[in-house]
Structure 1
Amino acid sequence: MQAQRPFVMSIAGYDPSGGAGLLADIKTFEQLKVQGLGVCSAMTLQTESEFFNIQWESLDKVLSAIGVLMKKYFVEAVKIGVVKDAEFLHEIIRQIKLHNAEAKIVWDPVLKSTSKYYFFDLHTISDLKKVLKEIDVITPNYNEYKVLQKTGLFQDLCSVLIKGGHRKDKIGTDILVDVGREISIEPNDKTLVYYPKHGSGCVLSSAIASYLAKGENLETACRNGKRYTEKFLTSNPTLLGFHSN
């Protein structure tokens, strides 16, 4: 029996369907046997197929919650999800580093919903340069990567895992750009049917954070995170996946 689990914190939006955001992250943490902590960055009203509205939590409340948790628990890794702009992200990361300078940080840059609602203020993208150097890895999908790349980001500021679910060629193949290397991470079983899932990006990023907290290097964490997410994608044909490890 494992006596103690590493603490991993999710800072993400609340999705009442449970498919994405904070609830999906906590489900992932539990399956991967890390102790999950949660801070809500925004309250959303959505289902797995429709998005209705979002109410942002105040920055002060978010920072206060991070401080309370990190003073009590030694947080090994943090997954950050939906944030409204670069300054919001910057202040969150500064608060994390204040309490544990060595904490691993994974940011899943959710720019917009599938219904085309924009979460992140794209006018602040250029300000991300001062933030990315504090992040261990970001996990944009292929379309998000193209948007962020146009601003000249990713010049060795942090590692990037470009998810392959939206690629037209080699669909499902992720590319990890780490210390100047490009590492191709292909699907583990190409014979399986991978059904589209609401929140699959949240699941992947929180799985990566979990494996980093357990001491795995970035490449291994990304590979194992992909394996976990593939089980989620193949769990059933609906948009709400089942968690299992």
Structure 2
Amino acid sequence: MQPAFPPFPVVMTLAGNDPSGGAGLAADIETLVSLGCHPAPVVTALTVQNTHNVQALLPVSPEQILAQARAILADMPVAVFKIGVIGSAENAVALRELLTAHPDIPVVLDPVLAAGGGTELAGAELIEAIQDLLLPLTTILTPNSIEARRLAPEADTLSACAMALLARGCGYVLISGGHESGAEVINTLYGNHRQLESWRWPRLPHEYHGSGCTLAAAIAALLAQGRELHSDVPHSAIHHAQAYTWRSLQAGYPAGGGQWLPNRLFWATAARGQA
């Protein structure tokens, strides 16, 4: 029997396993715990990777994904779905089946199409499946600018990309600007057929492994905590998730020889230093 009032909101994250601990399920788990949620991780793919790049992507079968998710949904009151690496077009079909069966659970979709080191993680068939099957079921889509352009190749500006993605059924689209030029990173939220708000964050000096996972998982965690996704108050889920992600990157560290890793428990590190 599901508990009526679990001590922490449950967020199901469906993503790939990253053995470096920087991205994927590891990033999601750290973020969700840091923001007061219970993570329910469902493995969509195994990866061979480190802080430099992904060397291999090994998708889990659709049947195994659904079996993992259904076992948890029969036992725990899942508040939010967060989706990262999908692995294959067949897995996208399975995810559509899962989401359609639970239409009242919000969906945060981080469309991970390539690794930070450049390895492709989604071909044309999977991109089409995301466009046709998953975007209509997505509460908020969180692409970076490169992913937005790949998901909406017919558009000639990032704003036009967002409009095209909203037309496919997304509730909101938050395009992050870390891959664009400039002294600041500009993240822009779109919804209701228009641009809603932009945020400017000081650009940090390093490249980071798992920043997109952190942002999407933070939005999912704050939604699960009951925050409004977007509102006029400064502490909406989207605003607070960006602030949390920026501070995680600011406190980041080199664990290997490639990209730096976000310190998603920066608050614990600071508390330890004061003890």
Shorter-chain TM-score above 0.5: yes
- Provide the residue aligned with 1:67 in structure 2: 70
Query: Contact 1:8–1:78 (CA<8 Å) still a contact in 2?
Result: yes
How large is the RMSD of aligned CA atoms in angstroms?
2.1
Distance in 2 (alpha carbons) for counterparts of 1:234 and 1:186: 17
Query: Contact 1:125–1:151 (CA<8 Å) still a contact in 2?
Result: no
Query: Structure 2 length normalisation: TM-score?
Result: 0.81
For structure 2, the residue ranges without an aligned partner over 5 or more in a row are 156-163, 231-235, 255-259, 268-275
Distance in 2 (alpha carbons) for counterparts of 1:58 and 1:166: 32
Structure 2: which amino acid aligns with 1:103?
Answer: I
Distance in 1 (alpha carbons) for counterparts of 2:6 and 2:137: 31
SS at match of 2:209: coil
One of 35, 39, 42 as aligned partner of 2:45: 42
Distance in 1 (alpha carbons) for counterparts of 2:90 and 2:197: 32
- Provide the residue aligned with 2:181 in structure 1: 168
Q: Is 1:27 aligned to residue 30 of structure 2?
A: yes
| TM superposition shift of 1:214 | 1.4
Distance in 2 (alpha carbons) for counterparts of 1:67 and 1:40: 13
| TM superposition shift of 1:237 | 4.9
Moved more, 87-96 or 111-120: 87-96
For structure 1, the residue ranges without an aligned partner over 5 or more in a row are none
- Matches for 1:123-142 after TM superposition, within 5 Å: 123-127=125-129, 128-142=131-145
Identity of counterpart residues, as a percentage? Answer: 29
| TM superposition shift of 1:79 | 0.7
Structure 1: which amino acid aligns with 2:174?
Answer: L
Residues 155 and 165 of structure 1, relative CA distance in 2, 3 Å threshold: same
Q: How many residues align?
A: 241
One of 238, 247, 250 as aligned partner of 1:231: 247
| TM superposition shift of 1:120 | 1.2
| TM superposition shift of 1:179 | 1.4
CA deviation digits over 1:173-204, x for unaligned, max 9?
1111111231333235x3x7453210000000
- Provide the residue aligned with 1:199 in structure 2: 210
Query: Structure 1 length normalisation: TM-score?
Result: 0.90
